[in-house]
């Protein structure tokens, strides 16, 4: 969508987001714009609010202040309901969140058929294509218990992609994986980035963050402390808190 000044509106805009869990002020006045096609990586120490921010963006957690805008749809939870918003904002979790009683294909088809009311033939063709791409087409009738952690996480990514989301939120998607499976999952994400998928990613994989990000956002204690391109952030972070964080990560 072009604005009157001819500039492109951000795909996602957060304005003044505040989030409390009881007395804990988890997010303080968060303001953030993400452009279409941009890959933004959120970094920061454990407990600083990264996961909460992702969960607020697709309405899994209510906010106590501020608004979230998705280009073309207005304010989420107001102009467009959360259920509808989640059809445009895919999310992948550390713990996969696959249904164990459904096979791979049925896990993938559930959202597109039930929530998006699409035709089975069309969605299954898309699912087949995505499964072929990640090398798991042969496992389409397998159940989650028959898959490795890396395979389950690649299926969870395909499930999110099959909704044709405008934005993908990835919350520590390799944190539960054995080291030898991390690469196969991160490679899928790198491919998506190269194809122009807009993503907001939380990760502890610093090498991956540096490679995949167009922009790094560093948070601490519920606030955005600094933002920079990855080269600048990793070689010359502006704040002492970011320097301390990178030292702690041995990076
Ligand atoms: P991060 O993802 O950066 O590790 P989180 O978003 O998980 O941080 O947590 C931010 C803060 O909110 C922390 O103080 C955490 O303890 C608190 N918190 C997160 N989830 C909950 C919850 N469901 N109930 C209460 N407090 C929570």
pLDDT in tens, 24-51: 999 999 999 999 999 999 999 999 999 9
For 80, other C-beta atoms within 10 Å of its C-beta total: 17
Residue 30: enclosing H or E segment and its boundaries?
strand 24-34
Give the distance (Å) from ligand 1 centre to CA of residue 26.
7
Contact 104, 153 (CB under 8 A): no
Pocket of ligand 1 (CB under 6 A): 21, 24, 26, 44, 46-52
Q: What is the DSSP letter of 76?
A: B
Q: Pick from 34, 24, 89: which is nearest to 56 by CA?
A: 89
Look at ligand 1, atom 19, and give the residue with the nearest C-alpha: 52
N-to-C CA span, the chain: 39
Contact 40, 34 (CB under 8 A): yes
pLDDT in tens, 155-198: 999 999 999 999 999 999 999 999 999 999 999 999 999 999 99
Q: What is the DSSP letter of 80?
A: B
Contact 32, 24 (CB under 8 A): no
Look at ligand 1, atom 24, and give the residue with the nearest C-alpha: 21
Q: Which domains does the chain show, CATH number per domain?
A: 12-99+165-248 (3.40.50.300)
**Rounded to 10 degrees, what is the CA torsion of 19, 64, 92, 163?**
-160
The DSSP-derived string for 112-178 is IIIIS---HHHHHHHHHHHHHHTT-GGGTT--GGGS-HHHHHHHHHHHHHTT--SEEEEESTTTTS-
pLDDT in tens, 66-85: 999 999 999 999 999 999 99
Closest ligand 1 atom to 171 CA: 2
Say what the pTM is.
Answer: 0.95
pLDDT in tens, 198-240: 999 999 999 999 999 999 999 999 999 999 999 999 999 999 9
pLDDT band at residue 108 under the 50/70/90 scheme: very high
Q: Pick from 13, 43, 5, 10: which is nearest to 218 by CA?
A: 43
Look at ligand 1, atom 21, and give the residue with the nearest C-alpha: 21
Rounded distance between C-alpha atoms, residue 110 and residue 224, angstroms: 36
Mean pLDDT of 122-137: 97
Give residues with Cβ within 8 angstroms of 71, minimum separation 6. Answer: 1, 9, 10, 11, 12, 36, 166
């Amino acid at each position: 969508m072009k604005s009157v000044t001819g500039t492109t509106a951000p795909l996602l805009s957060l304005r003044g987001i505040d989030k409390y869990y009881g007395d804990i002020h988890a997010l303080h006045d968060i303001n953030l714009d993400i452009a279409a096609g941009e890959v933004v990586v959120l970094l920061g120490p454990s407990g600083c609010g990264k996961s909460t921010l992702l969960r607020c963006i697709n309405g899994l957690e209510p906010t106590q202040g501020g608004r979230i805008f998705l280009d073309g749809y207005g304010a989420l939870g107001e102009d467009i309901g959360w259920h509808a918003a989640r059809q445009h904002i895919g999310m992948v979790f550390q713990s996969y969140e696959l249904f164990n009683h459904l096979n791979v294909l049925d896990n993938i088809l559930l959202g597109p058929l039930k929530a998006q009311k699409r035709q089975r033939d069309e969605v299954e063709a898309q699912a087949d294509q995505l499964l072929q791409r990640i090398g798991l087409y042969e496992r389409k009738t397998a159940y989650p218990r028959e898959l490795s952690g890396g395979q389950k996480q690649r299926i969870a990514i395909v499930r999110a992609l099959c909704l044709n989301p405008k934005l993908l939120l990835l919350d520590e998607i390799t944190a539960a994986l054995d080291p030898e499976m991390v690469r196969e999952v991160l490679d899928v994400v790198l491919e998506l980035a190269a194809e122009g998928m807009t993503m907001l990613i939380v990760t502890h994989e610093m090498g991956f963050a540096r490679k995949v990000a167009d922009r790094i956002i560093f948070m601490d204690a519920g606030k955005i402390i600094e933002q920079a391109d990855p080269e600048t952030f990793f070689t010359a972070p502006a704040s002492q808190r970011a320097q301390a964080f990178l030292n702690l990560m041995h990076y």
